[in-house]
Structure 1
Amino acid sequence: MFEVLVYLYENYWRPDACPDHVQLTRKLSAVGFESDEIQEALVWLDGLAEAAQTYTGEQSEASMRVYSPAELDRLGPDSVAFVSFLESAGVLPPSMREMVIDRASAVGESPLALEDLKVIVLMVFWSLGEEPDALILDELFVAPEERLIH
């Protein structure tokens, strides 16, 4: 599913640029994605679209997130730490954080791989028509061992 999401991010600059599900399914199949992978991604994207419609961005910046044991199990320590990093860097406001947690909870894997969480963060920005700044994009796309140290 995550490969499909990355493909959509790279090929459609915003969600409303994507064709309808039928046409998109055909395009994704033609590119080589498996049917079950496509359907899983489309269901996940429907949930993302729902979350984006209710996004207000009005939560207090001073709010503190306490994770339930089920959320901690689902996300895993690396993903929770990464979400905290993005919050402390000021690029993931509380309401976007909740979208990330909601969409991460919609994935069947436990704990969620950090690379998969990064795709989810990217897709949350994409769904809201926002682009993260260059440093955050670097953090989301480039593996730490591939970074150049200046």
Structure 2
Amino acid sequence: MFDILMYLFENYIHSEMEVVVDHDELTNELTRAGFREQEIQKALAWLECLADLQELETKSYIDASATQATRIYTADEMTRLDSQCRGFIMYLENLGVLDFATREVVIDRVMELETSRFTLDDLKWVVLMVLFNVPGQEAAYDQMEGLLFEEADGPLH
């Protein structure tokens, strides 16, 4: 399912091509690209849920007093998001790329992915997809895009 999301994001959204609106046409294209029907339907449902967030004020469903709260991860979340991923989420919050509301959306979307192996690179793409779909997060999207594509110069220590 994640491969389909990446395919769609890279070929339509991220490349700024016109997005195919017709569900059947998109399904046919993904089938021709080698994806299975069941996985296509799951990926499209995942994207629809993410798109629904555009219609919500993301902050409206999270208590404003949570802005200074510490996030405690559930056992399932810690299984999916290893310490490196959780540390990166905290790093993004400290940079101002994620706020408390977008952080929760990212975690929600990660938990809805059906994948046995989830990496830090996968998390970065999910963050980018979320920021692209949340109104008012253009600057955070640009900053995350820079973090995703930047090459490290020299040693990382």
Q: Distance in 1 between matches of 2:84 and 2:116?
A: 12
Quote the RMSD (CA, aligned, Å).
2.7
1:45 pairs with 16, 35, 47, which one? 47
1:2 paired to 2:8: no
TM-score by length of 2: 0.74
Letter in 1 for 2:44: L
Structure 1 gap segments, 5+ residues each: none
Q: From the superposition, tell whether residues 64 and 111 of structure 1 become closer, same or farther in structure 2 (CA, over 3 Å).
A: farther
Q: From the superposition, tell whether residues 86 and 63 of structure 1 become closer, same or farther in structure 2 (CA, over 3 Å).
A: same
Q: How many residue pairs were aligned?
A: 145
Which protein, 1 or 2, shows the higher relative CO under an 8 Å CA cutoff with sep ≥ 6? 1
1:137 paired to 2:142: no
Q: Once the 2 structures are TM-superposed, how far is the Cα of residue 87 of structure 1 from its aligned partner?
A: 0.5
TM-score by length of 1: 0.77
Q: From the superposition, tell whether residues 78 and 56 of structure 1 become closer, same or farther in structure 2 (CA, over 3 Å).
A: same
Structure 2 gap segments, 5+ residues each: none
1:89 pairs with 84, 95, 100, which one? 95
1:23 paired to 2:25: yes
Identity score, percent: 40
Q: Does the CA contact (< 8 Å) of 1:118 and 1:140 recur in 2?
A: yes
Letter in 1 for 2:9: Y
1:119 paired to 2:156: no
Instruction: Report the 3-state secondary structure (helix = DSSP H, G, I; strand = E; otherwise coil) of the residue aligned with 1:133.
Output: helix
Q: Does the CA contact (< 8 Å) of 2:58 and 2:102 recur in 1?
A: no
